Amino acid sequence: MMMDRPSVKIIYIMIIASLCCLMAACGGKDAGAVSDIKEKGGKERIVVGFSQLGAESDWRSANTESMKSVFSKENGYELIFDDAQQKQTNQITAIRSFIQQDVDYIVLAPVTETGWDTVLSEAKEAGIPVIIVDRQVDVSDESLFTCWVGSDFELEARKVCMWMSYFFNKKGIKSEDVHIVDIQGTIGSTAQIGRTKGFDDMANLYGWDVVAHEPGDFTKSKAKEAMFAILRNYDNVNVVFCENDNEALGVIEVLEASGKKCGSDITNGEIMVVSFDGVNKAAVSSLVAGKISCIGECNPLHGPRVESIIRKLARGQEPYKYQYVNEKIFAGTSAVPSIMLGGKEYKVTVFNEETLYEWPY
Ligand code: AHR
C-alpha cells in the first residue's frame, strides 16, 4: 500500500524520536544500570545501596557478610556495596552515587557521627529512605534518616566494667590498686564515644586509677603501637580495657613479647585484658585460655534486622526510629555468674571448649 508524503514524514519523525530516546537511555549509564537490574528475570528487584565504612575488624567482616547474604539476588535484592576504607569522604561519594542511580533504599554504616547533614538532605530530597546501621549519625534534623539499628555501646562498656568491679570485689582487689588504660576505637565513632564514656563513668564511680587513654582505631596494628607507647611511659598498668577484640589481640601480643602474662590474677602480676565484640575466633579462644578475662558482646548480624525494616517500609509501616540490639557478656571463668546494672540482671555466658566449637562465626 502506498503512503502519502505526510504519513511517511510522521513515521520518520517517530523513528528518529524512538532512536533519540534509546540513545538517551544508553547515555544515562547509572539510571540505565538500575532499570536493567530491576527488570532482570522479569521480576522487579529491590535495589539497596550499602555504604560500609571499611574492613577494619573481624566484626566488620561479619557485618558485611550478614548484609551481603540477606540482600542477595535470590532474596529479590540487588545490593550495590561500597567499602569506604574508613574515609567519610568516600562514604559521601558513595551515597551521592546511590542517589544518582535512584536506588530504592540507602543503608549507611557511618564511620563517625558528624558531617552527614548535607548528603542526607540530598537523599531526603531525592525521596530515598536512609537506614543507619551500627554507629549513629549526629544530625541537626532527625528526619534526615528513616531509622537506626545497632548496639548500645555505652551499656556494653558499663556491663564489662561492672563485671570487673564484681570480680575485683570477689578477689579482694582494692579500687586504688586498679591501674587501668583505655585503648580507644576510632575517635568520633559512636562505638568509641559510648565505650569511652561508659568506661570513664564507671572508673570514676569505683575510683580506679585511669592511667591513660590511647587511640587504637579498632585495629590490631594501631593497638600494638598504643600498647608499646603505654609500656614505655608507665610501669604500673595492670588492666587494659580494649574497645574491641582486634585491639585486644594486638595488646596481648605486645604484653607477651614484653615478658608479661595476660590473665585475671592481677595481684600476682598478671595483666587483665577486657574487650568487646566476641566475633573473632582467636579472641574467644583467648577468653577460654584466660588471656582475655571478659568480652562485652557486640552483635554484627544486622542484615536480617535491616531487611525487616525495609519490609516494613515497603508495606507502608513506620519502623521504630531507634532499635537497640540485646547483647550478652562473655567470660572465661564462672567467678561472676551475673551482674546487676540499672536494676536489671545480666547473666554472664561462660565460654569453654564446647561453646567455642559451636560459635557461629
Ligand atoms: O561499630 C562497631 C565496632 O566497630 C566494633 O566493635 C568494632 O570491632 C568495629 O570495628
- Transcribe 246-278 into DSSP letters: HHHHHHHHHHHHTT--BSS-GGGT-BEEEEEE-
Q: Going edge to edge, which strands form the sheet with 46-52? A: 77-83, 46-52, 105-108, 130-133, 147-150, 322-324
Q: 207: exposed, middle or buried (C-beta count within 10 Å: 0-12, 13-18, 19+)?
A: exposed
pLDDT for res 355 = 87
* Pocket-testing residue among 218, 221, 247, 275, ligand 1, by greatest number of atoms within 8 A of Cβ: 218
CB 254 within 8 A of CB 270: no
Pocket of ligand 1 contains residue 163 by CB under 6 Å = no
- Phi, psi for residue 149 in degrees, rounded to 5: -135, 135
pLDDT for res 43 = 59
SS3 171: helix
* Pocket-testing residue among 53, 134, 155, ligand 1, by greatest number of atoms within 8 A of Cβ: 134
Pocket of ligand 1 contains residue 108 by CB under 6 Å = no
Q: How do beta strands 147-150 and 322-324 pair?
A: parallel
Q: Which helix (H) or strand (E) holds 38?
A: helix 29-39
pLDDT for res 219 = 98
Please tell me the pTM assigned to this model: 0.89
Reading the chain (361 residues) residue by residue, the pLDDT tens digits are: 334 444 444 444 444 444 433 333 333 333 334 444 454 445 589 999 999 999 999 999 999 999 999 999 999 999 999 999 999 999 999 999 999 999 999 999 999 999 999 999 999 999 999 999 999 999 999 999 999 999 999 999 999 999 999 999 999 999 999 999 999 999 999 999 999 999 999 999 999 999 999 999 999 999 999 999 999 999 999 999 999 999 999 999 999 999 999 999 999 999 999 999 999 999 999 999 999 999 999 999 999 999 999 999 999 999 999 999 999 999 999 999 999 999 999 999 999 988 888 898 8
- Chain Cα centroid distance, residue 288: 25
Going from the Cα of 59 to the center of ligand 1, the distance in angstroms, rounded, reads: 6
pLDDT for res 162 = 98
* Pocket-testing residue among 159, 187, 244, ligand 1, by greatest number of atoms within 8 A of Cβ: 244
Pocket of ligand 1 contains residue 60 by CB under 6 Å = yes
Going from the Cα of 191 to the center of ligand 1, the distance in angstroms, rounded, reads: 6
Rounded distance between C-alpha atoms, residue 242 and residue 231, angstroms: 15
Residues 6+ apart with CB under 8 A from 237: 179, 180, 181, 211, 230, 231, 271
For ligand 1, atom 1, the nearest C-alpha belongs to 191
**Structural domains of the chain, ranges and CATH numbers in brackets:** 34-150+301-324 (3.40.50.2300), 153-298+328-358 (3.40.50.2300)
CB 133 within 8 A of CB 108: yes
Residue 225, CA distances (Å) to 20, 212, 214 in order:
60, 14, 9
Pocket of ligand 1 contains residue 158 by CB under 6 Å = no
Going from the Cα of 42 to the center of ligand 1, the distance in angstroms, rounded, reads: 39
Taking the alpha carbons of 242, 186, 280, 198 in that order, is the dihedral positive or negative?
positive
